[in-house]
Amino acid sequence: MSAPATTPGKTPSKAYLNFSRNTAHALSVGALGSLSLWFALKFLLTEEPGPQQAGLQLAVGVLALAGMVASVLLFLSTYSFRANAPDAQIDEREVTERNRAYFRAYQTLVFVLLLSYIVAEFGEKAFGWVPTRGVIANFLTLLIFAALTLPAAILAWWDAGDEG
């Protein structure tokens, strides 16, 4: 069986979640914000047992789960379809928007990588701190989810919506 043909500008309605632009905004802020806060709070975790550490461990876990779920939901949205659709399935305007969104996502991720490199170099020179394998693994997790989420999030934020 062959898949039904889609016309340019039309998204498959059953294959993707059709969120409103406000819902997509909330998901993008929730995903990237939760994952960034998760990464930052991981630095406060220690091996020492105690109620504060238990509460922090719970908060870190909830933030990670919330951020990953929000990222996956946004990745399954119609905005993600537009961000990842082949040229033949979207019109010229959408191709241009998609390309701009990917370029902006690329710029953002390169900036974050450059900034993290500067912070790591400064941390090593000033404090003798070198990121551990765990920190690098957590940072890569954050970057992977950001890379999956950013193009769709950018398209959602650029969406003017229906004016009428």
Q: Is residue 150 part of a domain?
A: yes
Q: Is residue 2 part of a domain?
A: no
Q: Is residue 3 part of a domain?
A: no
Q: Is residue 6 part of a domain?
A: no
150 versus 13: the higher-pLDDT residue is: 150
164, with CB counted inside 10 A (0-12, 13-18, 19+), is exposed
Domain tally, the chain: 1
CA-CA distance, 5 to 151, in Å (whole number)? Answer: 25
pLDDT reported for residue 14: 67
pLDDT reported for residue 48: 79
Q: Is residue 14 part of a domain?
A: no
Instruction: Give the pLDDT band (50/70/90) at residue 43.
Output: confident
Q: Is residue 48 part of a domain?
A: yes
Q: Is residue 47 part of a domain?
A: yes
Structural domain for 145, as ranges: 21-158
pTM: 0.80
Q: Is residue 61 part of a domain?
A: yes
Dump pLDDT digits (tens) for 58-79. Answer: 999 999 999 999 999 999 999 9
* Contacts with 45 (C-beta within 8 Å, 6 or more apart), sequence order: 53, 56, 57, 60
pLDDT reported for residue 52: 83
